[in-house]
Structures are given as C-alpha cells and as structure tokens.
Amino acid sequence: MSLFKRLLNPKYKSDEKAKKAKDSEHGKYYPEEKLPIDEKFTYNFNKNGGKFLYCENMTEVLEAFDNILLENDWYERDVFCLNELLTARFDGFNLNFIEKPDATFFLLPCEALVANNGAILLSSNQIKEKKLKELPSNFVVFATTSQLVESISEGLRNIKNQSTNYIPSNITTIQDFEPEKEKDFMSYGSSTKNLYLLLLEDL
C-alpha cells in the first residue's frame, strides 16, 4: 500500500500509534528503521516548502489543478508550457498556453522525484536550455508515483536508460520552494520557486 493511501486509512493511523509506542521502548540507541521511498520524499518535499496534491486518477488531477487556479486567481492567465501532452490534458481551464517564460506560471512534467532530498529532477526535456532563474517563479509539476527514485544518481541512470538516441542536457534539480526561507550554505545561489506537485498514482 502506498504512503498516500495509508495516510487516508484510519486503521493505518491507529497501527502507527501502536508502532510508535513500541518503538519508544527500544531506546535511543536502537537502529532507525529505513523509511519507505514515498514517505521519505513526502517528508523532505514538505520540509523544502513544496505543496503536493496526491491524485488516484486524472479526474482528481484536473480537480486539484482547478483548485490551484482558484486559490491563486490564475484563470485567464498566460501559462508557459513546452509539453504538447500537458497542453492537451489541461485544456479547458480558460488559460492561454504560450512558449515564452514571461507567464504567470510554468506547467511541466519532470524526470524524477528524488526522495533523499525532496527535489524535482529536470532536464532539457522539460526546460530546454533555460536556467531556472529565467523561468516563472510559479511551477505546477505533473508527475507520477512511478517516478520516485531514492537519489539523484538513480534519477540520472533512469534518464540515461530511457534516452536511446541522445542524453538530455541541462540536467538540474530544484528543491527550494520557500521564497521567505533564509538560505543556508548548501542552498546559496539556488533558484527558489513556488511549486505545486500534482502527483498521479500509477503503481
């Protein structure tokens, strides 16, 4: 059962309370249990300030997308989108899809969702040769649960394995989703984005 389904399951919540009580008996020197990949991504992504909406089917994806537009008053706005499939899927919301980054938000897929740091892995397949700072400050990313990977290196291997004719260039990650957050040394120079993740269950 995926994390997202477990979170909606009342029995799971009660089982988790019992498990935590049992774990507390082991003491602080007991080896930590390895988190499932979906749980690790959720924790790190939320810690980075990202906002994700879990959806079991495309109907729920479209409803969640509509709620994002409503929350931000993004109807009748320019949307930067370079993916024809997404343009077709999200047509019907009275949006103006353009191929210039001078837009209210950027609608895009991704290469992978990286669990160990809660990052979104992107390449020239999604952003061409543009730098993150050249893109809109608001992102809406469409991804599936099968795109979850443990690490960036695993994501890079997947890109290489899926690229039969050429390996995409301009590979980068984005993991800073809080504009107001004070930057530490590791995030210095990174480009902050207000990011929503539409996550479709496909496993």
Instruction: Show the tokens assigned to 163.
Output: 């690229």
CA–chain centroid gap for 180, Å, is 19
Residue ranges per domain, the chain?
Answer: 38-177+191-200
Q: Which residues of the chain have pLDDT under 50?
A: 1, 8-14, 18, 26, 183-189
CA distance 66 to 93: 8
pLDDT per residue over 138-149, tens digit each? 999 999 999 999
Q: Would you tell me which CATH number, out of the four given (2.40.50.1020, 3.40.50.1000, 3.10.20.30, 3.40.50.10420), belongs to the domain 38-177+191-200?
A: 3.40.50.10420
Task: Say what the pLDDT of residue 10 is.
Answer: 46
Task: Say what the pLDDT of residue 187 is.
Answer: 44
> In degrees to the nearest 10, what's the CA dihedral of 18, 20, 24, 25?
30
Task: Say what the pLDDT of residue 165 is.
Answer: 82
Task: Say what the pLDDT of residue 23 is.
Answer: 52
Looking only at the bridges linking them, the beta strands covering 105-108 and 78-80 are: parallel
Task: Say what the pLDDT of residue 166 is.
Answer: 84
Residue reference for tokens 């997308």: 65
**Whole-structure pTM value:** 0.81
Sign for the CA dihedral angle at 68, 41, 122, 158 comes to negative
Q: How are strands ordered across the β-sheet holding 51-55?
A: 51-55, 194-200, 138-144, 105-108, 78-80, 96-98
Instruction: Show the tokens assigned to 139.
Output: 């992102």
